[in-house]
Structures are given as C-alpha cells and as structure tokens.
Chain A
C-alpha cells in the first residue's frame, strides 16, 4: 500500500471508530439481524406443522431473514460515515489534510467495507447458528430437512455471502452519500432503492416481477439460496450478488466522478 493510501485509511479508521454513531449502528445491525431472524424462525414452522413433513422451504434462507431489517442500520452505517463530514463541515478539514480526494474516498470506502464485512459476518453467522435449532424445533427435520451444518458448501456460501451482500449495501450507501451529501436524503434514497422493488414486485405481473427481481440491488440476496425451486431467480447465487456489486460499483464510480469536481 502506498504511503498516501495507508495514511488515508488510518485517518478514516480512527474517524469511524471514534464516534458513537458507529457503535450504535454496529449494535443495531447485529441485534436487528439476529433478533428478527430468530423471531421469524421461532414462530415459523413447516406447512404441515408436524415433524418430518415434506416441503421445499430453504432452511438456510429462512435462518437469515433478519437481514431484511438489519440492512437498514447497515445503510445508516455506510451513509453516516460520509454525510457526517458534510453535516459538521469536517469535510473541509479532511480535504485540507488529504487534498487527494479520490484517495480519501477510497480510504473511507475501505474503512466502511472492513467494518461492514466484520459486522455483517457476525450478524450473519449468529443468525444462522441461533436459528437452526429453532427451525428444527419448528418441525424442520429430516428426511425432507436434514440438519444443515456450516461445513456444507452451500451454507458457507449463504452465510459468508450475506456478509458480503451487507458490505456491498454499506458501500452503496457510502457512494450515494458522497453524491447527495445529506444524511436523510442518502438513507431515504438507499432504503427506497433497496426496498421499493421488493414491495413493488408484489403488484407486478409475473414476467415484470421476475425481471425486477433480477436487476434490483437486492438481487444479491440470492446468495442465500441453497435449494433452488420454481421461484428461484435464474441468475443463481453468484449472478445475483454480481448485480448488487454492479450497483455498488456504479454508485462509487459516480461518487469518484463528483467528489473531485465540487467545492466544499
């Protein structure tokens, strides 16, 4: 790593860890993701509500459903890291200390990514470990639902992939925040972009819904799927994650384009 990149990353990491909003959002991400996953697993059961029933539910997906709410504080984490600088005026101090703005943006994105990946991993792993026994208690047992362990390739892919998905989401928020420079606008925009398609899908006819599912930023959630069925998006786990990554990349490129061109 060049000296400039190292200095930028160090500064951004200190900034990130030295404010309370980071602590709160990190706690919220873990608590909400794990809490909601566990709650949904505890109240859910197999269709027949009896042990050993057959079915095509994906117990891995079902163990990670808290992510739908957990992604909201994750958006806040990614957005606030950037917008707090504009809100407080610290951005001027930042650009005075490190005038190479692209480097500073990259440093901030890296710091956010490292933290998001760590927190996302904890949230995802805890959700899986806590909900699996709950699901079993709710009737998800063999032979239709054999015990899923973390040594299963698809389970690892789902759990680790969920953390990656959350990281991409945080970075997407950071990118949007760098462009719109305002906390409320940024978080509203990101949450809308991520949740609106999901809500809208319910009202759209099959074909349009399928298309929307595949191009929406949430397409990356397909990384959680371990047992494909009729309504599984055709892009596959990695294809979906690539779509989310493309959204994030496009946003960060937009941020990189604007950050050096505007007065602060």
Chain B
C-alpha cells in the first residue's frame, strides 16, 4: 500500500497573501517527518490543502497515490490532528469518537481501544468541554488513531501536554514510524523534533526552505564553537587569531572560538602557559540549523513562538 504524501506545485492565495507558494515535496513512510517553519509559514494551510478542506489554486496533493477527497474510508488511511480544540464542548469524548468511527465503518470496540491507548479510558463519558488542554490533545490523538491509519498528519501534537505526555507522544510517534507508517508532525519545539524526527521539511513564507534528513541538516550546519574562560583573554585571543581561526570576546574573562577543536585550544594554551578555567564545546542544535535556514524568511521577529 502506498503511504506517501506527495505535493506537486501546490499554491494557495488568500487575497494578497500567498499562503502556499509552489510547494513541492514528498513524505515517505517508515519515518517521522517534521514539518516546520516560522509563524504564518503556511504549514496549517498546507495540511488543510492535503486534506481537501481548502481548495488549492494550482498544484496537487496526493495521499497514498490519490487525492484525499476521493478516499472511500479516509479515516482508515489517514489520521489527522489539525486543531484538537475544534471539538463540540457539549459532546462526551466517547460519543465524539463514536460518530467518527461510524462514519468510516470502524467497529465500536475500537473507540475504547484508542481511549485506552491515549489514557482517557476513565473520562470517556465526560463532556469534552471540561477537558484540560492536555486531555483535549489526547482526545484529538485518539481520533487520529481511530482508523489505525498507515498515514498520520499531526499539527502540534505536543501542544498542551505535560512533560510526561511529551515523553509518551515521542515514544508513540517513534513506534508508529517503526511500524512503517508515514508520520508527518508539525512543531515549533525544534528540540522536541531533534529527538523524534528523522527528516525535516522546512518552509517559510509558503515556500520550501529545506527538505533533508535531520542528520544531514545537522552536518551541514555551521561548525561547532568552543566557549573558553580564561584570565588571560588578550593573550589567548592573539594566539588563536594567529592560527587563522576566528575568536570573539564574550565577556571580561571569556571568548568564543570557532574553527578549532577543544583539544587544539587546550594544547595551544598549555604551550604558552595560559590558564584555562573552562573549555566547552557547543554543538549546533536543530534550533540553530532551523534559525539559520529561516533567517531570511522570518515573517516575525526571532524568539516568538510559532503556533501555526
């Protein structure tokens, strides 16, 4: 069974805003793909275009080889979590899953199974309006998993979850991918994706910025830097500069070196009797890579959380 999500030249305009601009990429099965981008980058719009909730101006989105809207039993093929809070507050959790299941001929027993799976068995008879954000998020996940689908599309699944819940969903996403499923997950927490995603699709202003494996992106990032604390700042700086590496002073007794390993710096310093109090290697994080990739296309100032 084809479990890829294939997008070709997808474009969507809202008035003067080009929300999705000629987007082309493919999402393969058997791995967790992170779908990231700054605020307003077009992630949610892309999700809605894939699911046929919004109509693309041009381009196509194929899910498992066909448009989503052509599927006979879509919930058994694709599990989507767009906005977990988009739920009728007066409806009991079990009833919410029941109508969803019945719409796709999914047996009633599966409702209790997924409630158990997400840890909501005890509150299945409660109305969704009384749920905390974390519980609502779990109910949204239960709905996505209801049809045991080979493809999962989750928009900010960790949103509102407590630390325990985040660890839980990380394991869940990994095991779903390990079963060969296609797992597409958006998140603004890059650190979260670093432990979870195998592959990243980065978009900005509706355009594709990067489509590569996490390992590949980390490897391509700027070199690691080394933070050094020393009382002999001036001596160390001139010494490092002589080697051709770059060095900047960050404090009265601290410098940051790039282009030299920790070992090399230590050897240089001891050779010239320079005292070192601290020597720390700073590896680029996924966050660094992401910021570097999206710097040019940032719609909003850095540091603001991305929730679209």
Contacts and interface: CB of A to CB of B under 8 A. Distances in A.
Range of interface residues on chain B? 20 to 34
A93 B74 contact: no
A84 interface: yes
B75 A88 contact: no
Interface string A198-221: 000000000000000000000000
A100 B73 CA distance: 11
B102 A18 contact: no
A4 B102 CA distance: 11
Contacts of B68: 99
A97 B88 contact: no
A14 B55 CA distance: 29
B83 A7 contact: no
Contact of A10 (B55, B87, B102): B102
A153 interface: no
B54 A93 contact: no
Nearest to A95: B53
A10 B103 contact: yes
Contacts of B96: 18
A86 to B, nearest CB: 10
Nearest to A263: B54
Contact of A11 (B51, B53, B103): B103
Nearest to A12: B99
A246 B87 CA distance: 34
A232 interface: no
Given A18-B92, A263-B53, A88 B87 contact: yes
B65 interface: no
Interface in B55-113: 55, 68-72, 74-75, 80, 82-83, 85-92, 95-96, 98-100, 102-105
A18 B99 contact: yes
B130 interface: no
B200 interface: no
- Name A's interface SS: helix
B143 interface: yes
A4 to B, nearest CB: 8
A97 B89 contact: no
A14 B95 contact: yes
B48 interface: yes
Contacts of B51: 92, 95-96
B17 to A, nearest CB: 14
A19 B105 contact: no
B52 interface: yes
B50 to A, nearest CB: 10
A15 B87 CA distance: 11
B186 to A, nearest CB: 16
Contacts of B82: 92-93, 96
Contacts of A3: 105
Given A89-B83, A89-B86, A11 B69 contact: no
Given A12-B99, A19-B88, A264-B54, 20 more contacts: A4-B72, A8-B103, A10-B99, A11-B102, A14-B95, A18-B91, A84-B88, A89-B86, A89-B87, A92-B48, A92-B51, A95-B53, A96-B53, A97-B100, A98-B74, A98-B103, A99-B69, A99-B71, A263-B55, A264-B53
